[in-house]
Amino acid sequence: MTDTTLENNEMPAAEVPEAKPAKPAKKEDSFPVFVLKLGIAVVLFRSFVFAPFYIPSESMLPRLLNGDYLLLAKWPYGFSRRSLPFGVPLLPEQRVLASNPARGDVVVFKAPAHFEEDWIKRVIGLPGDTVQMKDGQLVLNNVPVPKVRISDFEVAVSPNTRCYSSQFMAKRADGADVCRYPRFTETLPGGKSYDVLDLNNSNPKDNTDPVVVPEGSVFLMGDNRDNSEDSRYPASPDGGIGLVPIDNLLGRATVMMWSTDGGAEWLKPWTWFTAARWNRLGGAF
DSSP 3-state of 91: coil
Catalytic residue among 59, 158, 228, 231: 59
The reply to whether 59 belongs to the active site is yes
H helix or E strand, kind and range, residue 34: helix 31-48
What distances in angstroms separate CA 48 from CA 43, 73, 75, 134, 270, one per listed residue?
9, 8, 6, 40, 35
Q: Which amino acid is at 8?
A: N
DSSP 3-state of 272: helix
The reply to whether 74 belongs to the active site is no
What distances in angstroms separate CA 28 from CA 32, 34, 35, 141, one per listed residue?
12, 9, 13, 63
User: What is the rounded end-to-end Cα distance, in angstroms, of the chain?
Assistant: 93
- Give the E-state strand segments of 60-146 in sequence order: 68-73, 106-111, 117-125, 130-134, 137-140, 143-144
What distances in angstroms separate CA 67 from CA 32, 137, 145, one per listed residue?
35, 29, 30
Catalytic residue among 47, 74, 110, 121: 121
Active-site amino acid positions: 59, 121
